[in-house]
């Protein structure tokens, strides 16, 4: 059924039925002029927004509506998590072409709801407008963090270790597989990573409870770019040990098939939503010594922070090359 048949209010009614907005700290959810929330005592509020624009961030040729819903919320939750916080509430603004079907919007909300439940981020409202021929999904999320636990990009210091969670490269592989209409079979993990990124909410909370993380950022624009942000905002340089960066197996296979260097995927794959963070060497050593052999938070040390005037370099084999020489740094020191 076309959107025009149900109209704005008919659609909002359906949306309201599809999402759960009940939670002890939601006094009023969807249905009034604004949501009413109970603030948490002694917590700071984190507040973020991110949009997905058709033709820029997604392509309806291969992106299922449900995955879009998931992703639109997940990318916001990732920003909250990267600040050391936990997500609480979200609002969704939709600009939809009249050609969309009601069922498409319902699928979108099924994805939003799934993500909302997975990370306990309650949807409490939104806005619905018509657009000409492309869709835009904009989500804003409020989260909370204890005062001493905020992890910004500017807390790194000289001599600290640079670490990354998980494995990199997969999201870009997923995007390239979809764009090129390649058989997804062997690359399903990468495709899913691109379509429905998971957020390391629990893992990051565990990490910062155990280890004194000094700065943190999520990898949404690619490792090269995010390293640049931490360096610039902390007033430092860095040496990245390329061989240490963990790479997903599918990335190796795909890069080989395309005759591309793996480095390109390591440094430029965006939308990974892994975390890049720094810790003091002493803190890391102390923490490591107390770890049972089997237990390991899944992260890898990939570099070291150095003085700003030493710049940002990549160490590969015996060579040390400026990151800028790869042409991948979208940043200027």
List residues near ligand ADP by CB under 6 A. 12, 15, 30-33, 92, 94, 125-128
Span of 61-69, 126-134, 245-253, 325-333 interacting with Mg ion by CB under 5 A = 126-134
CB closer to ligand ADP out of 128 and 149: 128
Residue 206 interacts with Mg ion (CB under 5 A): yes or no: no
CB closer to ligand ADP out of 135 and 266: 135
Task: Name which of ligand ADP, Mg ion, none residue 256 binds, using a CB cut-off of 5 to 8 Å depending on partner kind.
Answer: none
Asked whether 151 and 234 are in contact (CB, 8 A), the reply is no
Residue 8 interacts with Mg ion (CB under 5 A): yes or no: no
Beta strands 86-97 and 136-146, pairing class: antiparallel
Q: From the CB of 105, what's the least distance to Mg ion, in Å?
A: 16
Span of 50-58, 124-132, 180-188, 311-319 interacting with Mg ion by CB under 5 A = 124-132
Task: Name which of Mg ion, ligand ADP, none residue 81 binds, using a CB cut-off of 5 to 8 Å depending on partner kind.
Answer: none
Q: From the CB of 310, what's the least distance to ligand ADP, in Å?
A: 49
Q: From the CB of 69, what's the least distance to Mg ion, in Å?
A: 19
Q: From the CB of 112, what's the least distance to ligand ADP, in Å?
A: 8
Task: Name which of Mg ion, ligand ADP, none residue 103 binds, using a CB cut-off of 5 to 8 Å depending on partner kind.
Answer: none
Token digits for 251?
Answer: 């990335």
CB closer to ligand ADP out of 12 and 51: 12
Pick from 127, 206, 260, 285: which binds Mg ion (CB under 5 A)? 127
Q: From the CB of 72, what's the least distance to ligand ADP, in Å?
A: 11
Token digits for 144?
Answer: 């909370």
Q: From the CB of 66, what's the least distance to Mg ion, in Å?
A: 24
**Rounded to the nearest 5 degrees, what angle is found at the Cα of 138, between the Cα atoms of 131 and 202?**
155
CB closer to ligand ADP out of 126 and 228: 126
CB closer to ligand ADP out of 105 and 227: 105
The whole-angstrom separation of Cα 275 and Cα 78 is 9
CB closer to Mg ion out of 32 and 210: 32
CB closer to Mg ion out of 127 and 256: 127
The whole-angstrom separation of Cα 95 and Cα 102 is 13
Give the N- to C-terminal CA distance of the chain in Å, as an integer: 52
Question: By C-alpha distance, which of 71, 45, 73, 76 is closest to 143?
Answer: 45
Task: Name which of ligand ADP, Mg ion, none residue 141 binds, using a CB cut-off of 5 to 8 Å depending on partner kind.
Answer: none
Asked whether 36 and 28 are in contact (CB, 8 A), the reply is yes
Torsion angles phi and psi, residue 222, rounded to 5: 110, 150
Token digits for 56?
Answer: 């820029």
The sheet carrying 275-279 orders its strands as 213-218, 275-279, 161-165, 299-307, 236-241, 312-316, 319-322
Q: From the CB of 127, what's the least distance to Mg ion, in Å?
A: 4
Q: From the CB of 125, what's the least distance to ligand ADP, in Å?
A: 3
CB closer to ligand ADP out of 32 and 249: 32
Token digits for 175?
Answer: 């995007």
Give contact residues for Mg ion (rule: CB under 5 A).
Answer: 127
């Amino acid at each position: 059924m076309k959107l025009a048949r149900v109209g704005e209010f008919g659609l909002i009614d359906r949306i309201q039925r599809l999402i759960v907005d009940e939670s002890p700290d939601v006094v009023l959810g969807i249905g009034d002029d604004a949501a009413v929330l109970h603030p948490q005592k002694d917590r700071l509020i984190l507040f973020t927004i991110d949009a997905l624009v058709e033709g820029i961030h997604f392509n309806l040729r291969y992106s299922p509506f449900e995955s879009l819903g998931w992703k639109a919320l997940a990318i916001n939750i990732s920003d909250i998590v990267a600040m050391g916080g936990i997500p609480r509430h979200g609002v969704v603004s939709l600009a939809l072409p009249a050609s969309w079907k009601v069922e498409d919007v319902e699928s979108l909300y099924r994805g939003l709801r799934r993500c909302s439940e997975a990370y306990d981020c309650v949807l409490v409202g939104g806005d619905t407008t018509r657009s000409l021929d492309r869709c835009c999904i904009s989500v804003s999320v409020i989260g909370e963090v204890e005062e001493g636990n905020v992890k910004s990009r500017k807390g790194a210091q000289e001599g600290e270790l640079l670490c990354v969670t998980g494995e990199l490269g997969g999201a870009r592989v997923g995007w390239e597989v979809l764009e090129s209409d390649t058989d997804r079979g062997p690359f399903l993990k990468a495709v899913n990573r691109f379509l429905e990124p998971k957020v390391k909410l629990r893992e990051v909370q565990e990490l910062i409870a155990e280890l004194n993380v000094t700065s943190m950022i999520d990898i949404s624009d690619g490792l090269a770019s995010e390293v640049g942000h931490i360096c610039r905002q902390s007033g430092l340089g860095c040496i990245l040990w390329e061989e240490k960066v963990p790479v997903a197996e599918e990335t190796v296979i795909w890069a080989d098939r395309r005759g591309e260097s793996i480095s390109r995927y390591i440094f430029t794959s965006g939308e990974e939503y892994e975390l890049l963070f720094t810790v003091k060497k002493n803190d890391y050593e102390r923490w490591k010594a107390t770890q049972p052999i089997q237990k390991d938070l899944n992260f890898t040390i990939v570099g070291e922070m150095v003085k700003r005037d030493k710049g940002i370099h990549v160490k590969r084999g015996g060579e040390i090359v400026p990151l800028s020489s790869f042409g991948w740094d979208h940043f200027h020191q």
